[in-house]
């Protein structure tokens, strides 16, 4: 994590300098540099920069350590996967895969039960009669 808006803006925009950001959005470089390094950038200027680079304001505030991870999540989770630890991500993937597996297993069980239709052989009386007739020789009337 970085400690000020200048570092956060450079990192998230992919721009190497505040001068480059200022030129891209049409702001005076000295003003943007002073505001960004002291974390006093105006909301209007921050919105302008974020729109130009298509980055989230929440991501900038989080990267600059002006808000916490939990605060970023409450604001809609704009940080994406960076807001979560590897363990949290692994648990989420595991839980989703487990839910899919359980759903597929349940569906397979229902399908197996519904595919098989009962036949005469399934009735106990028919089975008993069939077993009894198998013992009788063929030439018996």
pLDDT of residue 78: 46
Q: How far apart, in whole angstroms, are the C-alpha atoms of residue 43 and residue 137?
A: 99
pLDDT of residue 28: 94
Q: Evaluate if residue 135 carries a pLDDT over 80.
A: no
Taking only the tens place, the pLDDT of each residue in 36-89 is 989 889 899 999 999 999 998 988 998 888 888 888 888 864 456 676 778 887
CA-based nearest residue to 40, from 6, 70, 68:
6
Q: How far apart, in whole angstroms, are the C-alpha atoms of residue 92 and residue 73?
A: 16
State the CB neighbour count (10 A cutoff) for residue 27: 18
Q: Evaluate if residue 128 carries a pLDDT over 80.
A: no
Q: Evaluate if residue 5 carries a pLDDT over 50.
A: yes
Q: Evaluate if residue 101 carries a pLDDT over 70.
A: yes
CA-based nearest residue to 32, from 6, 10, 11, 12:
6
Provide the mean pLDDT of the chain. 80
């Amino acid at each position: 994590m970085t400690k000020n808006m200048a570092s956060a803006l450079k990192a998230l925009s992919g721009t190497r300098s505040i001068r480059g950001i200022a030129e891209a959005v049409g702001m005076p470089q000295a003003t943007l540099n002073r505001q960004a390094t002291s974390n006093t950038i105006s909301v209007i200027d921050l919105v302008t920069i974020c729109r130009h680079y298509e980055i989230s304001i929440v991501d900038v505030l989080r990267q600059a350590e002006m808000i916490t991870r939990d605060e970023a999540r409450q604001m809609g989770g704009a940080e994406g996967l960076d807001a979560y630890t590897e363990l949290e991500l692994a648990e989420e993937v595991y839980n989703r895969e487990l839910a899919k597996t359980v759903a597929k297993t349940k569906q397979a069980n229902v399908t197996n039960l519904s595919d098989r239709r009962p036949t005469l052989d399934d009735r106990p009386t028919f089975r008993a009669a069939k077993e009894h007739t198998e013992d009788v020789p063929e030439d018996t009337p």
